[in-house]
Amino acid sequence: MMKRKEFILGAAVGLVFAAAATAGGVIDWPGANASEASGRLIPSAGASGLAFAPPQGAPLSFADIFDQVSPAVVQIDVETPIERPRGGMIPIPGLPGFGFQAPETQEPGEEEEPQTAQGAGSGFFISADGFIVTNNHVVANATKITVKLSDGRELAGRLVGRDADTDLAVVKVEGSDFKFVSFEEAAEPRVGDWVIAVGNPFGLGGTATAGIVSARARDIGDGSTPYTDYLQIDAAINRGNSGGPTFDIYGRVIGVNSAIFSPTGGSVGIGFAIPASVAKTVTDRLMSGRAIERGYLGATISTITDDERESYGFAADFEAAYIVDVTPGAPAERAGLQVGDIVTSLNGRKITSSTQLTRAVGEAAPGDNLRLEIIREGRNQVINVRSGTRPADIQAAQNGANPGEPESAPDRPAPSAGEVVEGMTVTPVSEALRSRFSLPDTLNGLVITAAAPTSRAGRMGFEPGMVIVLADQRPVRTAADLRAAIARVREAGREGIVLLVRTSNGNRPVVLPLTTPAAAAE
């Protein structure tokens, strides 16, 4: 799983020595002259020892680099508030709704002292006048920031700005003539290039680890930083390395350590750094007090999966993004983009995934025209959208369109009888069903009121309260609409149908494998 928040990655480098046995059974090391009489191995410093020398271009030591750059690396200690659990209950992680009573620690009428948690991360000076780059997740919600320098000084830090979408932040300390480092902009690191990470793992400030660039342009897939293709490195970084720099062998910053991949929470040699090309652009804006503005579509999207591609009858190499939901009042809705639309290009740029579409929209300036080529109900169309400004809290903007878990309501009316299609009992949305399942007034489709446990739909998790909005990219309002869509899919020789289903957690596309006509009639 992905680990973030003061956690950073690692890898250990091992040296493997190979020995060969001679015909006489005496071990002979390359470049060594052994005395056969005594059996003692006496290494030689002869020319053949060059076989173990570092490869061309590799440093004999990282010591000089560390001496040059370490004064710019700092430890960042933070305090963040802890909210007292409602009702004095302390929740049990992983078990929502369960917990135990928190002990009383104060007398009645006494004001409760605010509770705080301590955290630690890393950062580095990017200018002589005290600007420091770190991760957003290190300083987010911090009420107090303390910066510890390599010479032992401790300075109060002030948050200048942060960007959650790239996990970057800038902190300022008062002073001048600080040692600082610079981002490398011209040259891009290659897979296999040496790197050295300096930071504060487990509170052990001034720690250096070395490794190589393991991969480039990694999408870590957690959705929290949609505008970053990460560098993957194997220099050991762990908890507390967050926000620290990754240097090349010339002491230039090529990345900002941000996340690890680890099944245990510790370093397993797979770490991710925000590339300098992204970090410099964002931090320059934050340092100057400018807001980070990105284009905004106002749609929830996903990538067309293999099952969906096959169910739609697209070619095996077809790639695109799928509009799962549209935020009410957002630019996409105003321009006529609809749920179920399949986006194939934006301003002539081919779109192959949801990530690519998100980044292409984000690169646009607010007010720019976004020309989307889409497929709707099997036909190619063009939608022109005037880009908005991406909200600071994108999740809140999306949640405005996607209600959460429906609240329980007493005396709900009984569900309509409905018709059975593919093991699901479905009926058109009605006012009674809107009340029963807390459905939005603007939602139309087929409400699932029951799903046979032995049916394919039942085994896949379809349940009462879900609403089928689209079937094979076409709106469905009645059971007849759904049957007609299924008939079209069967006639085309496809084995499954793509349904856009509204759940308590928002819309999502689902491929429902179809039964044979004979089985469906039973």
Give tens-digit pLDDT for 238-286. Answer: 888 888 899 988 888 988 988 777 666 666 778 888 898 888 989 998 9
Spell out the CATH class of 295-399.
mainly beta
Q: Is the pLDDT of residue 211 over 90?
A: no
- The topology under which CATH files domain 1-12+62-83+115-292 is Thrombin, subunit H (2.40.10)
Stated pTM of the model? 0.63
Indicate the range of 68-82, 109-123, 264-278 predicted with least confidence: 109-123
Q: How many CA atoms lie within 13 A of 493 on its CB side?
A: 2
Q: How confident is the model at residue 382 (pLDDT cuts 50, 70, 90)?
A: very high
Distance CA 207, CA 238 (A): 11
Asked if 267 and 259 touch (Cβ cutoff 8 Å), the reply is: no
Question: What would the 3-class secondary structure string for 106-120 be?
Answer: CCCCCCCCCEEEEEE
Distance CA 503, CA 404 (A): 9
Q: Is the pLDDT of residue 405 over 50?
A: no
Q: Is the pLDDT of residue 402 over 50?
A: no
* N-to-C CA span, the chain: 44
Indicate the range of 84-98, 117-131, 164-178 predicted with least confidence: 84-98
In which region does residue 240 sit, left (phi positive, over 0), alpha (psi from -120 to 50) or beta (all else)?
A: left
Q: Is the pLDDT of residue 219 over 50?
A: yes
Distance CA 286, CA 404 (A): 34
3-class DSSP assignment, residue 338: coil
In this chain, the answer to whether the domains covering 295-399 and 419-521 adopt an identical fold is yes
State the Cα angle at 265 between 264 and 268, rounded to 5°.
Answer: 75
Q: What are phi and psi of 189, to 5 degrees?
A: -65, 150
Longest dimension (CA), the chain: 100
Mean pLDDT, residues 51-57: 57
Q: Which residues are catalytic?
A: 137, 167, 242
Give the residue among 386, 393, 354 at the shortest CA–CA distance from 508. Answer: 354
Instruction: Please state the domain extents for the chain.
Output: 1-12+62-83+115-292, 295-399, 419-521
Q: Is the pLDDT of residue 108 over 70?
A: no
Give tens-digit pLDDT for 468-495. Answer: 999 999 999 888 889 889 988 888 888 8
State how far Cα 33 lies from the chain centre: 56
pLDDT of residue 338: 92
Task: Give CB contacts under 8 A, 24+ apart, made by 382-385.
Answer: 383/335, 383/336, 383/337, 383/341, 384/335, 385/297, 385/331, 385/332, 385/334, 385/335, 385/337
Helix (H) or strand (E) holding 506: strand 506-513
- The topology under which CATH files domain 419-521 is Pdz3 Domain (2.30.42)
Q: 55 vs 504, which has greater pLDDT?
A: 504
Indicate the range of 308-322, 359-373, 399-413, 495-509 predicted with least confidence: 399-413
Q: How confident is the model at residue 109 (pLDDT cuts 50, 70, 90)?
A: low
pLDDT of residue 364: 87
Asked if 237 and 257 touch (Cβ cutoff 8 Å), the reply is: yes
pLDDT of residue 511: 92
pLDDT of residue 416: 41
Q: What is the DSSP letter of 419?
A: E
Q: What is the DSSP string of 53-90?
A: SPPTT--S-SHHHHHHHGGGEEEEEEEEEEPPPGGGEE
Asked if 298 and 333 touch (Cβ cutoff 8 Å), the reply is: yes
Asked if 515 and 456 touch (Cβ cutoff 8 Å), the reply is: yes
Q: Quick one: tokens of 462?
A: 């379809």
Give tens-digit pLDDT for 162-176. Answer: 888 888 999 999 988
What's the whole-number average pLDDT of the chain? Answer: 77
Distance CA 13, CA 278 (A): 29
Q: Is the pLDDT of residue 403 over 50?
A: no
Give the residue among 314, 322, 319, 343 at the shortest CA–CA distance from 492. Answer: 314
Give tens-digit pLDDT for 280-323. Answer: 989 998 998 887 888 899 998 899 999 999 999 999 999 999 99
pLDDT of residue 92: 45
